[in-house]
Structure 1
């Protein structure tokens, strides 16, 4: 089997996600990358080339490809139980996983509801909040507040509370009626402001929305600290603290979507810890299983749980289900992932790696076409602009970020961009030398991408 064999068969049969397939067809300019296997931070194609996975395969991989500890856990579980319905049945891996998630997440989150993927987890959170208010006698609370530039998934409810036009514009007629407010994006700081100042200034918009709409709002949803699909825009934890206080004061739920930023990505195990806050709903996925199998966990409070705990005849139960909910294989992968966090100094090592990323990226601040170099923990981003002084962006149609991506492939690095933003979100097993390599390749790609 060769790369060309796989490419040819793929293009006859597959429709890839988040992809204009013409880019990869006969008239296209992008190479389809066949992958045969993975090991640690590396992906290997069928022709013997390797690529450093700088983006953790869409932000899911924490401890490297083919991790021996997670592999062994799955091999053991597959001979015991591959799957069983979770409605009316239970099993040891799902019980242990739920117990351990309660133990490690912010205090007060005492119940775990499982789904199949991140979008499904957000969908469940929206429905559960809406249904809670109905069950406690406030059926008028049916709307949600989201932030500008937010992304929460691509099912209809999750897309409704998102605000990235590329994903939602086509489907506007299907959307829920959501209140959208300007967010605390630190990219838009004014001279003399730091990110905490921006958070406080921008929170006025949220306060106004809550004062006006709290009577009809079920929940506010936020991606703590980093809006990943929104071009890796970042904000200060001060906004989380202000938001938690305001939601309590106005009687509105707070949903924290940590699907992309949870499990150590921002420097703490969960980004909410930096508030520090406890949301009413915490959505987790991606890194939950170490990048092995699809699973989402929605954690909530016992107060929410008790609003659904009633006689069957009242029909107050939460009728939301997925066939593969609580899949034992996914649970064992998640437990093995948590074992690694428990037995190894992951967060301490991440802080050292994050400091090294910051040191290596810092010189890019002086590049004439770099408007911003930003970072939260193991997530770092570099934003290209046409004019540095005015921060005028390159026209999106020029797709400059793809020049960095193409160059990266020639050098053995997988640096998939977000528009004109090139970023690093690598597996935690990366070394400082491998970080050096990625930053060098990124810098070379930026020079290529910004040539007139």
Structure 2
């Protein structure tokens, strides 16, 4: 049976991030079932899913509550476009507003994290035109190593050349700054004395471009696919202050970090920072059904209010946005998260795991161990401090899989050198 599935898959399926020419060399697994944190393949072998699929099965596999909610809703109202009201979308929006920080009260539903960020970018640009009519505010600043999605706007904000170069030229108006990657500081500074220079760089870009041309900054509170980069505690508050000083929108991409993964319900709560727009997906339904959301503050939402002849309404249409069945899954998922307070479990188990992984630092192959909650990375290096080559990293991931442990990896690198510190760097 497994061989038949593989033969059919090889003939007809185009998998992401996979070189099909090497299919015989690196055969794909056939997963048939899952429960808790365990995946089961077609041969009945069990694996610990230490990656949580793609950082998104936050409540674990096999939650009957979500299956029951989906079944009940699909019988009652399987679909109607969100041009009208459906009860699950309304209830979920209210529940999200209640658990998000500050006055993030207005929810635009879509299908994925990429679409959520695409939506945030469009809202920011339209907000700029309506709030600053005498200016031309459309530019958005993001960071290298950040990932915001596969749609063209979100990809243009993404700061990973490897993901972008095959599709260039991209959307104009996106600028990139260096990330708060303290282990390999791209500015050559020491975090103990740098005064968060990577945030200052964003302010310099604003000044150089002209504040009247810039409308926002988009950032993951903790960079995910770019290497699990946790910023210094002063970084996000400083970013919030810079946006306030120049009248910019702060867009926080919590597609990965949201819904308990980092030890807080939302990662921005670690630093008591409220964005103007927040983007959500992944843990919103724990992957049981596709659902994304962009949530706006009251001030941003109010900028879209006006008379019918002003054309201020947000005119993006998403066929499946606010899908009643997906939103029913989201309601059940959020109830599990809150009832079981799973962000507290992430904090507790993550701290234990991080302390155990810290013991690997005495290995010459391990350069850094970092993370928050259950979002943790081990950075592999060669003897001279440069990144371990991809082939060797792949072998390590493969060896873990042979031991029935599935982990993720990132090799989208800006530099292959560990910067040494000297006086002229400070």
Fold match by TM threshold 0.5: yes
From 386, 389, 392, the equivalent of 1:392 is: 386
Summarize the Cα distance change of 1:118–1:312 in structure 2 as closer, same or farther, 3 Å threshold: same
1:274-313 counterparts in 2 under 5 A? Answer: 274-313=270-309
2:168 aligned counterpart, secondary structure: helix
- 5+ residue gaps, structure 2: 414-426
- 5+ residue gaps, structure 1: 422-452
1:316-355 counterparts in 2 under 5 A? Answer: 316-355=312-351
From 355, 361, 364, the equivalent of 1:368 is: 364
Taking the aligned partners of 2:68 and 2:193, their CA distance within structure 1 comes to 48
2:243 aligned counterpart, secondary structure: helix
Which residue in the other structure is 1:441 paired with? Answer: none
From 72, 79, 85, the equivalent of 1:76 is: 72
Displacement of 1:313: 2.2
Alignment size in residue pairs: 410
C-alpha contact 1:115 1:321 (8 A) present in aligned 2: no
What is the CA deviation profile of residues 29-86 of structure 1, one whole-angstrom value per residue up to 9, with x for unaligned ones? 2120001111111111111111111111111101111112212221222221111111
Taking the aligned partners of 1:279 and 1:217, their CA distance within structure 2 comes to 17
C-alpha contact 2:177 2:198 (8 A) present in aligned 1: no
1:250 aligns with 2:246: yes
Which residue in the other structure is 1:114 paired with? Answer: 109
TM-score (norm 2): 0.92
1:218 aligns with 2:212: no
1:400 aligned counterpart, secondary structure: helix
Which residue in the other structure is 2:119 paired with? Answer: 124
1:23-42 counterparts in 2 under 5 A? Answer: 23-24=22-23, 26=24, 29-42=25-38
Summarize the Cα distance change of 1:182–1:310 in structure 2 as closer, same or farther, 3 Å threshold: same
1:16 aligns with 2:8: no
Taking the aligned partners of 2:268 and 2:194, their CA distance within structure 1 comes to 18
Displacement of 1:233: 2.5
From 403, 418, 421, the equivalent of 1:411 is: 403
C-alpha contact 1:145 1:181 (8 A) present in aligned 2: yes
Which residue in the other structure is 1:267 paired with? Answer: 263
Displacement of 1:138: 4.4
1:172 aligns with 2:168: yes
C-alpha contact 1:402 1:416 (8 A) present in aligned 2: no
Taking the aligned partners of 1:235 and 1:174, their CA distance within structure 2 comes to 28
When the two chains are superposed, the root-mean-square deviation of aligned CA atoms in Å is: 1.9
C-alpha contact 1:151 1:159 (8 A) present in aligned 2: yes
Taking the aligned partners of 2:249 and 2:164, their CA distance within structure 1 comes to 24
1:103 aligns with 2:98: yes
